[in-house]
Amino acid sequence: MPARLPRPNCALIHPAAADWAAGPGFTLVDPATEAEVAEIPVCGTADVDSAVAKAKAFSRQLALGAVQLDPLEILERLIAEIEARQAAFAEAVAREMGAPLDFATDKQVGTALAHLHTILKAARENPSEQATPPGQESHFVRHEPLGVAALITPWNWPLNQVALKVGAALAAGCTMILKPSEYATRSALLFAECMEAAGAPEGLFALLSGDGRTGAALAAHPGVDVISFTGSTSVGRAIAAAAGANLTPCLLELGGKSANILFADCDVDTAVTQGLAHCFRNAGQSCNAASRMLVAREIYAEVCARATTEAETYRFDSPLKPGGHQGPLVNHAQFDHVQAAIRKAQSQGARLLTGGPGRADGHNKGFYPRPTVFADVTPEMALFHEEAFGPVLSLTPFDGEEDAIALANESAYGLAGYIQTGSRETAMRVARQLEVGMVQINGQSRVEGAPFGGRKASGYGREAGLWGIRAFQTVKSISGV
């Protein structure tokens, strides 16, 4: 049994220092070596009760004005603390979930910081109280904090998701309880240290270490006023049910099986290169991965050949090495899930172009998958509908615009959509008909502060910028003043 992870000297972390070494634990495994490296404590109901009680009491003090605290000053200092520890965060992310150091630095940590800057800017530019409509001084609309916010975050983009939720909840004026994924505990503990260094007092923020049992107890707690969860659709359904029992508003950012539509007039080389990157980056472990490539039949053979060549340029190696390679999947269960998805696609008749089951070349241990591309994937196959959550791309031909839209929408999910075409009119016409929360055209990135979220089995609610802040606030109308 590995030793328990040392507890940071931070008052914002639960359980208490005296209890950190005792009680049930969860074993952390290095995804690159499969070695057991540490154990973390699993917070129980008593820890959840204590954290909620402190957050509730502090929330009341804030509402009464008994505590003088500027959330935006704390947010500004938090950004500075994370920037000062960027290398430490990147190493923590690399070790805990396998993202290579360069990618962890530029994307995992860099994107988190960008979101925090955007949230801070949005909060400063959009007051919580204003006359509505402008000039109608006898009527005000207030955006008030909902209260105690339960924030349950995943392992695939650990700091990024923590930043989106904590930054928005803090700017909204809420008190916060963070339950990070057990697989991403190291980066979350470092984040808690940054919160304390930024001036967050006990009661404003708390971190609960633990597994799904801890998250379930937090989501079901009647003292929680709003829940924000990012993770699997199955867990999201359970959290929604728990929230419904208490009539607790919640934001759910769940799974996806996003379609990438390549029309015959697209730039094939660029579309395939970007399409593979949108599917394979972060070892395919992204909810908005462009994992279904729908291709106009006129260019289908060309795209199949080009996708095969491009996929074979991807390399998997140690996350602690510099370079543009991919790292391992997060854990054994995820590796087995990807292997099962590949084998099932083969058994159902999908045509394997490259990759397949097994470990990536050069690896006999570690959770390194093979970059895999399947052609001729039909809606009757599981791979068309189910998340592999790994570097597995499916190719499906379509005949005409209506067929492309129908195939794209033939999914329980509705997170993201991608369109590649030389026609702006086609792009806009198709984008309006996709049953998703976000559409990106010809590789264009979302602008800062754009709403992130989906519909159908991908959940509901939006994160990022002002959209994220308002998710943690309630609206109050005041007339006659």
pLDDT band at 17 (very low <50, low <70, confident <90, very high): confident
- CA–CA distances in Å: residue 330 to residues 355, 369, 391, 462: 19, 11, 13, 26
All structural domains of the chain with their residue ranges: 13-254+459-479, 259-447
pLDDT in tens, 42-85: 999 999 999 999 999 999 999 999 998 999 999 999 999 999 99
What amino acid positions are annotated as catalytic residues? 253, 287
pLDDT band at 419 (very low <50, low <70, confident <90, very high): very high
Nearest of 382, 386, 373 to residue 457 by alpha carbon: 386
CA distance 42 to 302: 51
pLDDT at 481 over 80: no
- CA–CA distances in Å: residue 228 to residues 149, 292, 391, 459, 475: 7, 27, 27, 11, 18
Which stretch of DSSP H or E encloses residue 237?
helix 233-246
Is residue 253 within 8 A of residue 461, CB to CB? The reply is yes
Greater model confidence, 16 or 45: 45
pLDDT in tens, 90-106: 999 999 999 999 999 99
Fold of domain 259-447:
Aldehyde Dehydrogenase; Chain A, domain 2 (3.40.309)
Quick one: tokens of 452? 């992130």
Is residue 444 within 8 A of residue 454, CB to CB? The reply is no
Q: What CATH number does domain 13-254+459-479 carry, 3.40.50.620, 3.40.605.10, 1.20.120.450, 3.30.565.10? A: 3.40.605.10
pLDDT in tens, 260-272: 999 999 999 999 9
pLDDT band at 135 (very low <50, low <70, confident <90, very high): low
For residues 191-196, give the mean pLDDT. 98
Nearest of 194, 205, 215 to residue 152 by alpha carbon: 215
pLDDT at 470 over 90: yes
Instruction: Dump the DSSP string for 18-69.
Output: GGTTSS-EEEEE-TTT--EEEEEE---HHHHHHHHHHHHHHHHHHHHT-S--
Which residue type is seen at 212? G
**Which pTM value belongs to this model?**
0.96
